[in-house]
Structure 1
Amino acid sequence: MVRAVYERISREFQFSFLLTDVRNSVEKSGLLKLQKQLLSGIWTKKANISDLHEGAMIIRRLLGDKRVLLILDDVHHPSHLKYLAGNQEWFGSGSRVLITTRNEHLLIEHGVERRLKVEELNHDDSLQLFSWKAFKRVYPEEDFLDLSEYVIDYAKGLPLALEVLGSFLYGRDLREWNSALTKLGRVSNLEIFDILKVSYDGLDDEEKKI
């Protein structure tokens, strides 16, 4: 979902950065690596920064007068914002920093004033929305009911996730559903559009033709 936003508005800025799945990336490789990833898009030198404070200082120095779009997806800890987004002085006039997180208090603590909470659908509404996209009817076909319930649980009530998954699975048979949803479960921490690409790429050639 964040990638769709990024692709739609990134051309309006001098520099655009999308850091997805920040929480998992930090757990696996550390916050310093994310700073280096960000700097690699703006710094001609190899980002041989030694610590987070140095990285923060360089980011601010290089982007302080630039119109920047920075999207941080699945932020989990105050340090993620402190060392990747800093404050308004880090970026030039007209810049935008978009943050997704499950912890609203983290945004309040960082002084983020404009916050949007994505409302989740209940089970029945989720099933109905998904069914309209996947079957063009109000309730799933009987043979697909268990698999539909799996999708409902996976999407966690997020309308866009339900719509995208339903549209992706529309017209496919049980074998294709099982193949796609098996792969979906393996990469549950990736954003939804990347998940769908993995699922589609994993289908065999005959499945892709349908």
Structure 2
Amino acid sequence: MVRAVYERISCEFQFSFLITDVRNSVEKSGLLNLQKQLLSGIGAKEADISDLHVGATILQRLLRHKKVLLILDDVNHSSHLEYLAGNREWFGSGSRVLITTRNEHLLTGHGVERRLKVKELNDADSLQLFSRKAFKRDYPEEDFHGLSESVINYAKGLPLALEVLGSFLYGRDPSEWNSELRKLGRVCNLEIFDILKISYDGLDSEQKKI
């Protein structure tokens, strides 16, 4: 969803940045590396920084008179917003900062006023979206109806969950589906995104594009 928004409106801005899966990126390579990506994206000579506070100061100085689009996807810590998005004074007139998070308190703490809660899909739409990824059509194959319903019940209408699980299960036989569903069943739904990250990391590059 965030990529679709980015592709639709990025041409309206002087600088446009889309950082997907911020949480995982920080875990893997650190918050400083994301700052460096932003600095590199605007052609900053000071991109080789070693301190978050220095990086934040440089970003504010270079962007405060620019019309910027910044999309931060899956933020889970206040420091992500502090050092990547700062405050309104970081950006010039007409700029837009879009943040996706599962923790609404982060938005409150950062003073975000306008919020949109993404609605969960109903069962019919969930099945269609999942089937498009898992079977390349709008409905399950005959031997997979019950298994597909189990996935739908687990995903709780979350589009990302449905898409990643569909791509992960594509081309697998029923026994493999059962094995993966048992793994998911051993954790609570609050951990679904961690499980999905593990599943997604297990995809090869072509599967991730499906």
C-alpha distance in 2, partners of 1:148/1:196? Answer: 22
> 1:87 maps to which residue?
87
* Cα distance in 1 between the residues matched to 2:21 and 2:110: 19
Q: Mean alpha-carbon deviation: is it higher for 146-155 or for 44-53?
A: 146-155
The structure 2 residue matched to 1:178, chosen from 167, 172, 180, is: 172
| Aligned length, in residue pairs | 187
Q: Distance in 2 between matches of 1:69 and 1:127?
A: 31
Partner of 1:75: 75
Whole-Å separation in 2 of the counterparts to 1:60 and 1:149: 49
What's the secondary structure of 1:93's corresponding residue? Answer: coil
Alpha-carbon displacement from aligned partner over 1:16-72 (angstroms, at most 9, x marks no partner): 001111111111111111100111011242512121110000000000000000000
Structure 2: which amino acid aligns with 1:38?
L
Structure 2 unmatched ranges of 5 or more: 185-194
Q: Is the 8 A contact 1:78 1:110 kept in 2?
A: yes
Are positions 1:120 and 2:114 aligned together? no
- Structure 1 residue 23 and structure 2 residue 23: aligned? yes
Change (3 A) 1:150 1:29: farther
Q: Which residue of 1 aligns with 2:39?
A: 39
Please report the TM-score for the alignment, with normalisation by the length of structure 2.
Answer: 0.72
Partners of 1:92 and 1:85 lie apart in 2 by 13
Q: Which residue of 2 aligns with 1:100?
A: 100
Deviates more, 1:12-21 or 1:148-157: 148-157
Structure 1 residues without counterparts, runs of 5 or longer: 169-173, 203-210
Distance in 2, Cα, partners of 1:30 & 1:127: 34
Q: Do the aligned residues in 2 keep the contact of 1:23 with 1:74 (CA within 8 Å)?
A: yes
Q: What is the percentage of aligned positions where both structures have the same residue?
A: 68
Which 10-residue stretch deviates more, 92-101 or 41-50? 41-50
Residues 145, 47 of structure 1: CA spacing in aligned structure 2 closer, same or farther, 3 A cutoff?
same
CA RMSD of aligned residues (A): 3.6
CA deviation digits over 1:168-202, x for unaligned, max 9?
Answer: 8xxxxx9x5328x89xx9x9339x9xx89731769
- Residues 55 and 27 of structure 1: CA distance in aligned 2, closer, same or farther (over 3 Å): same
1:65 aligns with 2:55: no
Task: Using structure 1 for the length normalisation, give the TM-score.
Answer: 0.72
